[in-house]
Amino acid sequence: MVFVSEIVTSVPTVYSTPLQEKVYQVLQELEIAFQRVATDEVITMEDCQQINERLEMEMVKTLFLCNRQKTNFYLFVTRGDKAFKSKDFSQALEISRVSFASLEQMTEMLGTKIGAATIFSTLLKEASNVQLVLDQDVCEQDYYGCSDGTTTGYLKLRTADILQKFLPYTKCRPKIIEL
């Protein structure tokens, strides 16, 4: 069982990673409202169930993928309850099959570790060559739930704020696909 703290709307007093600090700075700068919970370490979507219940929403599933040559990288965001099928993803993008990028690549390019992949990594210059891919289903949800760049902090934000404020701020142009 994962411990999940009470919901708060303020930034943490101590940051675990440079990415986490940057996330909260940008949310404040863009005046994006959020709810936050602190947890024990969460790695799997099953671990997110208590977070979903506490925040009254569903966390997204964020996957860091690459081609066989490890020259093209994709940050794919889909619904947490949706099974990932490499074949369907590859067909939607009209690319050859993809696999999961390595832990080392995730750390280097996204500033996170396994379990903490997040759309907020688009704030990092190291992620500039990573193609953000959003599942259309995620874009249609009222709320967007994700990691704050750590495996112990999770946010609930309005999806419209992610799409209309955050992504334009990062100058990241996501590819939206239907799966």
pLDDT tens, residue by residue, 98-135: 999 999 999 999 999 888 999 999 999 999 999 999 99
Helix (H, G, I), strand (E, B) or coil at 1: coil
The average confidence (pLDDT) of the chain is 92
User: CA torsion, points 11, 12, 17, 20, in degrees to nearest 10?
Assistant: -20
pLDDT digits 0-9 by tens, 72-102: 999 999 999 999 999 999 999 999 889 999 9
The model's pLDDT over 131-149, given as tens digits with 9 standing for 90+, comes to 999 999 999 999 999 999 9
In tens, the pLDDT along 62-71 reads 999 999 899 9
Rounded-to-integer distance, Cα 64 and Cα 76, Å: 6
pTM of the predicted structure, to 2 decimals = 0.93
* Whether pLDDT at 10 is above 90: no
